Amino acid sequence: MRTPPLRTCIRISNITPTIRSHSSAKPRRPSSKLGPTVSLDHRSKAISLYRRILRDCRRIPDARSREETRRFVRDDFERNRGVTDLSQIKYLIGTGKTQWEGMERYITGI
């Protein structure tokens, strides 16, 4: 019995593992371009707080202070935009509400 040339054996051995790995691999879903998502409830609470603060900023009489406050609030929200841990988000929303309520007292006192 004649053995096949060595080149043929190498070619077959190189193809076989590739076929096996593709046939048994699970099809992957494309990952979201947005990354991990936050629950709708937490997202809406954060947006609600942001809008409330921006509305209340209109009551600041000094235009320079008003713009500075808006910029600070936006930067603060942008800095925490990527947070996905729900307990951290709850903490940030609670802290933001508390801080803004303190600021409201100052604004209404002017």
Torsion angle of the four alpha carbons 70, 74, 79, 81, in this order, in degrees rounded to the nearest 10: 150
CA-CA distance, 70 to 103, in Å (whole number)?
A: 13
Coil, strand or helix at 27: coil
pTM: 0.63
Q: What is the pLDDT of residues 26-69, one digit of tens each?
A: 556 555 565 566 788 999 999 999 999 999 999 999 999 999 99
Q: 62: phi > 0 → left, psi -120 to 50 → alpha, else beta; which? A: beta
For residue 91, give the H/E element and its range. helix 86-109
Please give the C-alpha separations between residue 75 and each of 12, 14, 69, 71, 79, in angstroms, as whole numbers: 60, 55, 10, 6, 6
Q: What is the pLDDT of residues 7-30, one digit of tens each?
A: 544 454 455 444 454 555 555 655
